[in-house]
Amino acid sequence: MKTLLSEQELRIGVERLAKSIDDFYGVSPLTVIAVMTGSLVLFADLIRLLSMPLRVGVVQASSYREGMASGELHVDRRMMIDVFGRDVMLVDDIFDTGKTLDRLHDEIRGLGANSVRSAVLLKKIRSVEVDLRPDFAAFEIPDEFVVGYGLDYRDHFRNLPFLGVLEPSDLESMA
């Protein structure tokens, strides 16, 4: 597996991301919602670095099923906290096609949030299918399938402390 971002590079990027969010919101209260499951590592590291009063929650959204190709988006809001009248920050692992954040943004606005913004660890350099762009991104990366730091391939590799690009031999060993 090729390392794309080291553990130290990820830490520095998350610190930079937190500073950007702190600078934007100041001391205003913020509701931060993790888009499960890939963002959980980022989410845990990020919220510990933010200084404003926080409420936290989760929403489950997934479009990857058994592999690397994106499919139909499934959203489960049962565990999400109330967002009515709140400023909300969605935290996701990766901005790829944009469909996940676009849909969640619309759904949370529909639930009466004052504002909805987004922060992602990774923004792929590629054409996207929606007008929405993340408000905050720690890194721009090439259009490659990446794992580690919460991102997975068939439920493997989430625990890696670095971000890696799977090689063909890695995929063969998973077959």
What are the pLDDT digits (tens) for 21-71?
A: 999 999 999 999 999 989 999 999 999 999 999 999 999 887 655 555 556
Decide if 45 is catalytic.
no
Radius of gyration of the chain (CA): 16
- Comparing CA positions, the residue from 84, 85, 99 lying closest to residue 35 is 99
Measured CA distances, 126 to 80, 84, 99, 100 (Å): 30, 34, 14, 16
What are the pLDDT digits (tens) for 140-169?
A: 999 999 999 999 998 899 999 999 998 888
Instruction: Give the per-residue pLDDT at 73.
Output: 72
Q: How confident is the model at residue 172 (pLDDT cuts 50, 70, 90)?
A: confident
Instruction: Give the per-residue pLDDT at 71.
Output: 61
Contact yes or no for 35/41 (Cβ under 8 A): no
Which of 45, 92, 93, 96 is catalytic? The answer is 96
Three-state DSSP at 53 gives: coil
What would the mean pLDDT of 93-108 be, rounded to a whole number? 92
- Of the CA atoms within 13 Å of residue 78, those in its CB half-sphere come to 2
Three-state DSSP at 61 gives: strand
CATH architecture of the domain covering 9-62+71-141: 3-Layer(aba) Sandwich (3.40)
Instruction: Give the per-residue pLDDT at 65.
Output: 52
Q: Where along the chain do its domains lie?
A: 9-62+71-141
What are the pLDDT digits (tens) for 106-151?
A: 999 999 999 999 999 999 998 777 889 999 999 999 999 999 999 9
Q: What would the two tokens of residue 76 be?
A: 């489960």
